[in-house]
């Protein structure tokens, strides 16, 4: 795997973990509140979202970079 692809894969995994952990925490807290099963609910939501979210980030991040560059008039 070339270094650029490897960087993009690791970036997608790290960004996914950070973003998805915050989002699933907040949504789980809103939906079920602090209770006996909060942690289990959060981890289930995180697991599902991570499996979906990381490939989405991997596929859409380059598109988002190009759109942002075009909007700002800079080179991607």
**Full-prediction pTM beyond 0.85?**
no
Residue 66 CB contacts under 8 Å (≥ 6 apart), including other chains: 76
pLDDT at position 64: 92
- CA separation for the pair 16, 54 (Å, rounded): 5
Question: 10-47 pLDDT, tens per residue?
Answer: 999 999 999 999 999 999 999 999 999 999 999 999 99
Q: Which residues of 35-46 are buried (b: 16+ CB within 10 A; e: fewer)?
A: eeeeeebbeebb
The answer to whether the CB of 61 falls within 8 A of the CB of 39 is no
């Amino acid at each position: 795997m070339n270094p650029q692809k490897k960087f993009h894969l690791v970036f997608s995994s790290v960004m996914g973990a950070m973003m998805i952990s915050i989002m699933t925490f907040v949504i789980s807290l809103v939906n079920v509140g602090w209770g006996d099963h909060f942690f289990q609910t959060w981890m289930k939501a995180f697991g599902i979202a991570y499996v979906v979210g990381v490939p989405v980030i991997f596929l859409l991040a380059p598109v988002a970079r190009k759109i942002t560059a075009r909007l700002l008039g800079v080179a991607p």
